[in-house]
Amino acid sequence: MAETMTPLLDRIGRPADLRQLDKGDLRQLADELRVEMIDAVSVTGGHLGAGLGVVELTVALHYIFDTPDDRLIWDVGHQAYPHKILTERRDRIRSLRQGGGLAGFTKRAESNYDPFGAGHSSTSISAGLGMAAARDLAGKDNNVVAVIGDGAMSAGMAFEAMNNAGAMDSRMVVILNDNDMSIAPPVGAMSAYLARILSGKTYRSFRRLLKDLSRHLPESLQEKARQMEEYTRGFMTGGTLFEEMGFYYVGPIDGHNLDHLLPVLENVKKMQNGPVLVHVVTEKGHGYAPAEASDDKYHGVSKFNVVTGEQEKAAPSAPSYTGVFAEALIDEAARDDKVVAITAAMPSGTGLDKFAKAYPDRCFDVGIAEQHAVTFAAGLASEGFKPFAAIYSTFLQRAYDQVVHDVAVQNLPVRFAIDRAGLVGADGPTHAGSFDNAYLGTLPNMVMMAAADEAELKHMVATQVAFGEHPSALRYPRGEGVGIELPERGQVLEIGKGRIMREGGRVCLLSYGTRLAEAQLAADQLDAQGFRTSVVDARFMKPLDEALILRLAREHEVLLTLEEGAIGGFGSHVMHMLAENAMLESGLKCRALVLPDIYIDQDKPETMYDKAGLNAAQIIETVCGLLGVDGAPIEVIAPKAGA
Ligand SMILES: Cc1ncc(C[n+]2csc(CCOP(=O)(O)OP(=O)(O)O)c2C)c(N)n1
């Protein structure tokens, strides 16, 4: 036994060090690990509740399994902070989610101990099964362990993977981390089923559970397993659903009790036949009173005071786009009882928690199930309702076929409210909304608009409500608006018409979305240098305001498009249209400013925009390059306020 006061964590550089400890020391280690994580997240902000809930599980998994040779895959990856501390990254843990620092999720490029990167949910069983198949083909014998939450388990992909794993009878371990929480309370039949297992009538002792497990071991090991039965506690069993899918179900076991976790995992590791599901019950936010007491169990926090748990909240200078969207939709729903709203497990993230309070019967949280959310919305639309599918740009990627096949091909007027469009700061590339302009722009029937500010957002929500001929998509970014006054009521915009913000003459900045503020700032500077600059808000990407853009192309020497999205989006559509109209032979100098062809790591938004070349300084630089103006780049005088 280590001496009580020696920090064990200081002796753990990597899991191999952890495996040198006595089992009896692991409780102390887990406590130290929890304190270290709380302290680190208090200075960085980030996902806290999920990590707190898996501290003991993390210690137990690295103690029993031979990581990194045994593959340990964390679903979503937001609970992997304790894992990062134990796997050679403790010295950088206070750089979590910062520019140049550790990612907030698992990431292959970061460590050998992260065999699979994540950010989006419900991928771990599929990835693990692939690794298990690869192991078998290569004749190796390492273990594969996928840890997945009860929320993530609600997604179709998790079931597809279990279905396949059961049929392949592949040797892998799935740890179901059941904390009865997604970000919000979990929804759906799966969650109800897990609750039934926990409250089920078929009680079985921990002794029985180990006995059952030991029957699957080679005889030489059975005696050892029997010795472990001294860890007896009252426990229940269930898990028929998983058994029907071909898994050997073990549990439920207390995920904070190392005396339970260790022998079960030890036995499971020795089982050499077929997939095993270990149902572990944990508490999100465990071991930190402010987290345990809060409604969201501190799923995601800003910097906070460790003693009080009080989070730093900068006073917002303007309402958030998400908030404006929610208020606008509530407002519209008051006048139109066909307006309904759908979220895929993100009620607070999308603002639909407010809508649900106002209209509980007209708001649907379908769980982490974006594909289903979209087709469900299509069904509602087919019956004459006006469904708003509020889904982050990055998560809508998962439902692309549903957008194409169930919505666009059938021309069903589903209204997509695409939040977090563009760069997202600390969550990094897995969460960036970079591609929706490109992936929706190719679809016949789709009408696409982007809000340049929060007032525009309100108008566009009204426009979507009124427009029922085609599906429509409205994109808006993360964070606060520009502080513009909000109209009393959203006005219905004319579909496919842009607006001229200022008329210049020589240079035209044609913006789609919230980079408009940077375009204005750049135009101020260019004007001051004598380059008369027009600024135009395209408002719509589909249909394009062809007449307006062709006129702009004719009347200006330089035309720059601007958007917070990857190539293939607004700029590409404009260039294509100009080419079709033989405008590119006319001497017009044009460029499309888009997100670059790289994944931009997490950082402060301003730094990310600099990397992306989408700030006023780079707009000016590009214009000067096209005009062939020599000399020092023009200096941007003032940053735009509130953006
Ligand atoms: C495809 C996808 N949709 C939505 C999210 C947003 N999201 C992140 S964590 C989370 C809840 C996950 O719940 P669970 O799997 O139970 O893990 P817990 O946080 O409770 O540990 C959600 C909805 C996501 N990461 N991926």
Asked whether 326 and 351 are in contact (CB, 8 A), the reply is yes
Name residue 22's beta-bridge partners: none
Cis status, amide bond into 68, omega within 30 of 0: yes
Please give the Cα distance from 358 to 345 (Å, whole number). 18
Instruction: For ligand 1, say whether the CB of 152 is within 6 Å of any of its atoms.
Output: yes
* 1 confidence band (pLDDT: 50, 70, 90): very low
DSSP strand pairing (472-475 vs 507-512)? unpaired
Instruction: For ligand 1, say whether the CB of 78 is within 6 Å of any of its atoms.
Output: yes
Domain ranges of the chain: 8-285, 321-475, 499-627
Among 48, 54, 76, residue to substitute to test ligand 1 (most atoms within 8 Å of Cβ): 76
84, two tokens: 């990062």
Instruction: For ligand 1, say whether the CB of 179 is within 6 Å of any of its atoms.
Output: yes
For ligand 1, atom 17: residue with the closest CA: 149
Give me the mean pLDDT over the 503-520 stretch.
97
Q: In the predicted model, what is the mean pLDDT of the chain? A: 92
Asked whether 179 and 395 are in contact (CB, 8 A), the reply is no
Catalytic annotation on 469?
no
- Residue 113 is classified by DSSP as T
Cα 39 to ligand 1 centre (Å): 23
Cα 188 to ligand 1 centre (Å): 14
Cα 368 to ligand 1 centre (Å): 7
What atom of ligand 1 comes closest to residue 186's alpha carbon? 16
Asked if pLDDT for residue 629 goes beyond 90, the answer is: no
Catalytic annotation on 370?
yes
Between 243 and 63, name the one with better pLDDT.
63
For ligand 1, atom 25: residue with the closest CA: 120
Q: Which strands make up the sheet holding 447-450, listed edge to edge? A: 363-365, 339-343, 386-392, 415-419, 472-475, 447-450, 540-542
8-285 to CATH, choices 3.30.360.10, 1.20.1440.230, 1.10.3470.10, 3.40.50.970: 3.40.50.970
For 90-141, strand residue ranges (E) read none
Domain 321-475, CATH 3.30.565.10 — does that match? no
8-285 and 321-475, same CATH topology:
yes
Dihedral pair phi/psi, residue 206, rounded to 5°: -60, -35
Instruction: For ligand 1, say whether the CB of 297 is within 6 Å of any of its atoms.
Output: no
**Hunting for tokens 């509130």 — which residue is that?**
642
Dihedral sign, CA of 342, 117, 191, 309? negative
Instruction: For ligand 1, say whether the CB of 120 is within 6 Å of any of its atoms.
Output: yes
Q: What is the DSSP string of 436-452?
A: HHHHHHT-TT-EEEE-S
Please give the Cα distance from 38 to 22 (Å, whole number). 25
For ligand 1, atom 4: residue with the closest CA: 368
Instruction: For ligand 1, say whether the CB of 279 is within 6 Å of any of its atoms.
Output: no
- Residue 639: what pLDDT? 47
Exposure class string for 350-364: b at 16+ Cβ within 10 A, else e: bbbbbbbebbeebbb
DSSP strand pairing (447-450 vs 540-542)? antiparallel
- Residue 6: what pLDDT? 78
Task: State the Cα torsion 84-87-91-96 to the nearest 10°.
Answer: -20
Dihedral sign, CA of 120, 122, 124, 127? negative
499-627 to CATH, choices 3.40.50.920, 4.10.320.10, 3.90.226.10, 3.40.50.300: 3.40.50.920
Element (H, E) at 381: helix 370-382
> How confident is the model over 323-333, as pLDDT tens digits?
999 999 999 99
Asked whether 447 and 540 are in contact (CB, 8 A), the reply is yes
447, two tokens: 């009408």
Instruction: For ligand 1, say whether the CB of 50 is within 6 Å of any of its atoms.
Output: yes
- Residue 233 is classified by DSSP as -
Contacts of 386 (CB under 8 A, 6+ apart): 336, 338, 339, 340, 413, 415, 465, 468
Instruction: For ligand 1, say whether the CB of 283 is within 6 Å of any of its atoms.
Output: no
Please tell me which residue in 370, 454, 456, 518 is annotated as part of the active site.
Answer: 370
* 55 confidence band (pLDDT: 50, 70, 90): very high
Cα 536 to ligand 1 centre (Å): 39
- Residue 228: what pLDDT? 45
Please give the Cα distance from 379 to 410 (Å, whole number). 11
Give me the mean pLDDT over the 120-149 stretch.
98
pTM: 0.93
Name residue 433's beta-bridge partners: 422
What atom of ligand 1 comes closest to residue 54's alpha carbon? 21
Asked if pLDDT for residue 633 goes beyond 60, the answer is: no
Between 134 and 641, name the one with better pLDDT.
134
What SS3 state is found at 195? Answer: helix
Asked if pLDDT for residue 23 goes beyond 70, the answer is: yes
Contacts of 361 (CB under 8 A, 6+ apart): none
Give me the mean pLDDT over the 103-121 stretch.
98
